[in-house]
Structure 1
């Protein structure tokens, strides 16, 4: 982590913005600064540099750095190897829980997941031995994915598909594999039943599955199944990223918000 902290320029430089109608305590001032820094971290266009967060939050660099260090320690913020800051798993999960308190709709739930991650969001339904995209929310990145509403995708090579297979009985998976095979979509596709079953077991434990360039080169996804009351998969929701913009460690941090979206969508599919 970079330590480009500058010495404080004096009490006046660290003073809170003027207020009217009441006193501002030292604790209140510190809390207000922390909230402004957190809002700056959560703004679109991240990960953000320390200097940009300092400007956006209108908080001195020395104070911004101290606040960020505390937020990173508490998992509200993540910092990458280039000392750029982005929302951490606790902040993403909190955003998802707040959104879930509002009246539910498919569009709102997907929009909330997009806001929590900044990435492309897909909703798909199971269509026999494949899945079909029925909703897509484009991410904030300048690069667009080739997916489209109505596109049918295989189960074994996609994050949503593997999360669906994780909740099907072995004999049903046997029938799907017999009908479709496990064709290689990329050099990273899982093409053996043993490897697929290992991923299914992991998805049941973690609550999500990963597609690490298994369906399309340079594309990495995290997906979770949307289940009916009996635990049968109706479909799934995913977050799609570009590998050279989003590291694997970051995409797994989307899991809490993703799982919350999957649960919220269940009564609506």
Structure 2
């Protein structure tokens, strides 16, 4: 983990290190691995974990591994709501230009959580309810987020969540997923091509440098959202992502 910030309180920084490591793990970790990833002695991690557990910010499972606690949900919900409100002007600009629904989602453990949407003006349109959770491996925003993570974290997420197939187009194995993530990194955007729902296609990009993994997307019926649409949509998505990213502290 990062060295102590000048003027910071070491115990507070270490507590946040624990929360960030558990978040990145996408599941639960034994105390020994938590100590290794935080680069701290086992007694120090044990003391901090005990304090965080007592406060409800992490919890100890039956197999003695540690996971994020439910008390964090109030902070996550509030932060997600604020992020969604902030991003709405950029999503609205995408809809005005492309006339398809635009979404924003963040990673929440082993799923994506949709935190904002601006719907298409078309009668036949895609609608994703704000607050909905969805798999990462077969959604555009989910794959865009996974492409920003290291292989160990991706495998941990898949192990935790599984890879249920929503359609016959859904990615079925972790090796297929890793190959797809490599293609996403190379071209700079993700595609959900009938993977979450037949007849629906989605283009998505990650928000670079975001404080938590997040992505934006545009989606619609495959009859309208085709390759030519993607050529128009991707640069606009990337520009919107850059505007959103520029608002975050560096």
CA distance in 2, matches of 1:156, 1:174: 11
CA distance in 1, matches of 2:130, 2:123: 19
Pairing 1:178–2:172 present: no
What is the Cα deviation at residue 233 of structure 1? 5.4
Report the equivalent of 1:237. 216
Gaps of 5+ in 2: 1-85
Larger radius of gyration: 1
CA distance in 2, matches of 1:110, 1:188: 27
Pairing 1:215–2:193 present: no
Q: Secondary structure at the match of 1:140?
A: coil
Report the equivalent of 1:137. 118
Report the equivalent of 1:203. 184
Q: Deviation per CA, 1:148-172, whole angstroms, max 9, x where unpaired?
A: 1000011000011001111100000
Contact 2:105–2:113 (8 Å) recurs in 1: yes
Pairing 1:167–2:148 present: yes
Report the equivalent of 2:132. 151
CA distance in 2, matches of 1:146, 1:138: 6
Gaps of 5+ in 1: 1-104
Report the equivalent of 2:100. 119
CA distance in 2, matches of 1:233, 1:212: 25
TM-score (norm 1): 0.57
Q: Secondary structure at the match of 1:227?
A: coil
Q: Secondary structure at the match of 2:106?
A: strand
CA distance in 1, matches of 2:168, 2:193: 11
What is the number of equivalent residue pairs in this alignment? 164
Runs (4+) of structure 1 exceeding 2 A deviation are 244-249
Q: Deviation per CA, 1:55-79, whole angstroms, max 9, x where unpaired?
A: xxxxxxxxxxxxxxxxxxxxxxxxx
Contact 1:131–1:152 (8 Å) recurs in 2: yes
Q: Deviation per CA, 1:20-46, whole angstroms, max 9, x where unpaired?
A: xxxxxxxxxxxxxxxxxxxxxxxxxxx
Contact 1:164–1:233 (8 Å) recurs in 2: no
Contact 1:168–1:233 (8 Å) recurs in 2: no
CA distance in 1, matches of 2:225, 2:124: 12
Q: Deviation per CA, 1:228-248, whole angstroms, max 9, x where unpaired?
A: 26xx75210000010123323
Pairing 1:249–2:228 present: yes
What is the Cα deviation at residue 111 of structure 1? 1.3
